[in-house]
Amino acid sequence: MKRLFLIILAAATSLVANSQESGWINLFNGRNLDGWKQLNGKARFEVVDGEIVGTSVYGTPNSFLATEVDYGDFVLELELRLDSEMNSGIQIRSQSLPEYNNGRVHGYQVEVDPSARAWSGGIYDEARRGWLYPLEVNPAGQSAFRRNEWNHYKIECIGSSIRTWINGIPTAWVYDDMTPKGFIALQVHSVNSKEQEGWKIRWKNIRIRTTNLQPAPFEDIYVVNLLKNQLSDAEKRQGFRLLYDGKTSSGWKKAGGTEFPAKGWEFRNGELVVLPSSVTGSERGGDIVTTEKFKAFELRFDFNMSEGANSGVKYFTGNNGPSIGCEYQILDDARHPDATQGAAGNRKLASLYDLIPSETEGRFVNAPGQWNRGAIVVYPDNRVEHWLNGRKVVEYVRGNNIFRALVARSKFAVNEGFGMAEAAPILLQDHNDEVRYRNIKIRIIQ
């Protein structure tokens, strides 16, 4: 018996030593909610059979069980299971401040989404900027979550890099520095009806490591980088490079000219700004283009519209002049009259201007004064996509029968070979309204 006791003691001592050496700390002791506090709503949180169980309550807002300690850099692992179709999430680097919306919990949320949308593992900015990483940009990650089973979540926050995995499958990768530190919280989402009261979510094996952190190896998934005019190492490995350095006109010139406009554009706080005619008077800067031409590419850019603004990002210009070509429309749909022109809304935000309307159902649009993320993807086989804030809103094939028919019914019918240049620069449009651009980056698609 003594020998058996010594063996058990040695094994236990070794287990504790290994745990301490690895740096893992349990955030949940399996018995009670010591170290946690409830914020905002009144959903029920309790400990049952070594698990934290959250139960929805009708008539109360989102409820959060938050750590009493704030965390900056860490790796967090936990397991969770939904016994219903409820939406939930894991708050990281989050805050609850009296001066912000009366203490409303806000910050990064790692999504738990059992619906057909399948955005589990995506990153949402709770009560602040909305979706940062919807899983539409990472289709492979949409298969990671297993309904009606336990799911293992891993979340890595190191510096400005935030990465997530579900059951070992990478689901999101965001670079952002808005909130470097905050609490971790488990969410029970509000429910819409009395019938949904009693829905449950369970969590267990919640542990965190905050020392001796090493980033996980590179994995080739879509990266959302919100840092101003910076390329992450991941983006560099994926072939991206900046088209705007955040300071100068390097790589840009006036459309149809040889130099950058002397007036009408300015470099402000790392942004490339087209000035409104009210500032420049009759002296417009005119459209600007890259000095380099492109064939197949993925272009990403952030834009911030003033109220009532009109602008655009054009590509495959040149066959009919330096400023005529395919256009990703940038428009304040609520205030600019052009939104009601054209056909079927094909002049609204993110549309292929005057040809194909952007998909509006389920898309996210940030109001004037806030930043939106645009993307144009052109494949070698002439397939083209427009993206807005992580959602695909336009897709077409350049030069096919449908494209030619749309051109024939548009204002470009008189332009022979419209949009069919083999290679062309990227153009930013001066339409007499202030629009700001940043994070303009591109990669070549082979």
pLDDT digits (tens, 9 = 90+) for 137-168: 999 999 999 999 999 999 999 999 999 999 99
Can you give the pLDDT at residue 8? 39
Query: Average pLDDT of the chain?
Result: 94
Q: What is the pTM of this model?
A: 0.92
Can you give the pLDDT at residue 282? 57
Helix or strand holding residue 224 (H, E): strand 224-225
For the beta carbon of residue 294, count every other beta carbon within 10 angstroms: 18
Which residue from 424, 422, 398, 412 is spatially nearest to 289, judged by alpha carbons? Answer: 424
What is the assigned CATH class of domain 23-209? mainly beta
Alpha helices, H only, 276-421? 277-280, 401-408
- The percent of residues in the chain predicted with pLDDT above 70, rounded, is 94
Amino acid at 167: N
Can you give the pLDDT at residue 19? 47
Q: Residue 391 region, left (φ>0) first, then alpha (ψ -120 to 50), else beta?
A: beta
Rounded CA-CA distance 314/354 in Å is: 13
Rounded CA-CA distance 320/310 in Å is: 22
Rounded CA-CA distance 75/443 in Å is: 31
Q: How confident is the model at residue 125 (pLDDT cuts 50, 70, 90)?
A: very high
Can you give the pLDDT at residue 284? 82
What is the assigned CATH class of domain 228-444? mainly beta
Can you give the pLDDT at residue 85? 83
What are 388-412's pLDDT values in tens digits? Answer: 999 999 999 999 999 999 999 999 9
Render the burial of 216-250: b for 16+ CB within 10 Å, e for the rest: eeeeebbbbbbeebbbbebbeebebebbbebeebe
Can you give the pLDDT at residue 22? 81
Q: How confident is the model at residue 355 (pLDDT cuts 50, 70, 90)?
A: very high
Which residue from 299, 312, 301 is spatially nearest to 433, judged by alpha carbons? Answer: 312
- The percent of residues in the chain predicted with pLDDT above 90, rounded, is 91
Can you give the pLDDT at residue 41? 94
Residue boundaries of the structural domains of the chain:
23-209, 228-444
Whether residue 414 has pLDDT greater than 70:
yes
Q: DSSP assignment of 308-342, as one string?
A: T-EEEEEES-BBTBTT-SEEEEEE-TTT-GGGGSS
Can you give the pLDDT at residue 325? 98
Residues in CB range of 240: below 8 A, 6 or more apart? 231, 298, 300, 441, 442, 443
Amino acid at 43: A
Q: How confident is the model at residue 279 (pLDDT cuts 50, 70, 90)?
A: low
Q: How confident is the model at residue 281 (pLDDT cuts 50, 70, 90)?
A: low
Summarize the confidence of residues 198-216 as an average pLDDT.
97
Whether residue 286 has pLDDT greater than 50:
yes
- Residue 22 three-state SS: helix
- Tell me whether the CATH fold assigned to 23-209 matches the one assigned to 228-444: yes
Can you give the pLDDT at residue 84? 80
What are 19-56's pLDDT values in tens digits? Answer: 445 899 999 999 999 999 999 999 999 999 999 999 99
Summarize the confidence of residues 206-213 as an average pLDDT.
97
Whether residue 17 has pLDDT greater than 50:
no
Q: How many Å separate Cα 411 from the centre of its chain? A: 34
